[in-house]
Homo-oligomer: A and B are copies of this chain.
Amino acid sequence: MRPKNLIKEEAIRSIALQIIADEGLENLSMQKLAKAAGISPRTIYIKYENKEDLLVKLFIEEVLGAYEKAILKNFDPAAPFAEGVQKLWLNGFNYLINNRHAFALLQHGKASPLLNRAFQQKNIKEGDFFGPIHQFLTLNVEAGIIKDFPQEIHRALLFSPILDLVAEYFDYQTRPQQIITPETILACCEAVTQGILIPKK
């Protein structure tokens, strides 16, 4: 039997991400995608049930999956708090600035009800997506090193600035000087863990 063309399968995914990043989720159509990938619309339906199925799989597998893998690379949940947070920040920041298309869909994931629902169902079915981070935070709360907030709050406080900083990074790429670099990130990371107030002498 004829083997499936893995190159085309990869093309569908990467070109879909590209269109979403450049024109927005609302401007992605199956016809446009097929044309850009140089294939027939029908071919997409061999691999994906329908448009929603394609979007959900793109988001969960291609984007969230890869992001999780990248952010947890060489991360040790038992590491000292500041060191662990720094690792996660650098991993996350570096991955996202080098994967603009994945970043774009990640942003859409927070806005689109479809993707939001898919993420929650995935989390319920397979347990915590970013397990080692959960473990890391629990350890540090139990050791009395960080304040005793629920996981979701810790995550919002510690990690949501990263996405905005990445967005600023891309904005500034189109202007005279870059103000957000990987070096900047270390200072931001410290500010988040220790606060941005300058301690009184």
Residue contact B191 to A194, C-beta cutoff 8 Å: no
Number of copies: 2
- Shortest CB–CB separation between residue A149 and chain B, in angstroms? 7
Residues of B within 8 A of A198 (CB): 144-147
- Once A24-B112, A113-B22, A160-B160 are accepted as A-B contacts, the answer to whether A149 and B107 lie under 8 Å apart by CB is no
Answer whether residue A111 sits at the interface, using C-beta atoms and an 8 A cutoff: yes
Residues of B within 8 A of A192 (CB): 157, 192, 195-196
Question: Main SS of chain A's interface residues?
Answer: helix
Q: Mark A4-24, 1 if CB is under 8 A from B, else 0.
A: 000000000000000001111
Residue count of chain A within 8 Å CB distance of chain B:
52
A residues with a Cβ closer than 8 A to B are: 21-26, 28, 81-82, 104, 107-108, 110-114, 120, 144-147, 149-150, 152-158, 160-161, 163-165, 167-168, 171, 179-180, 184, 187-188, 191-198
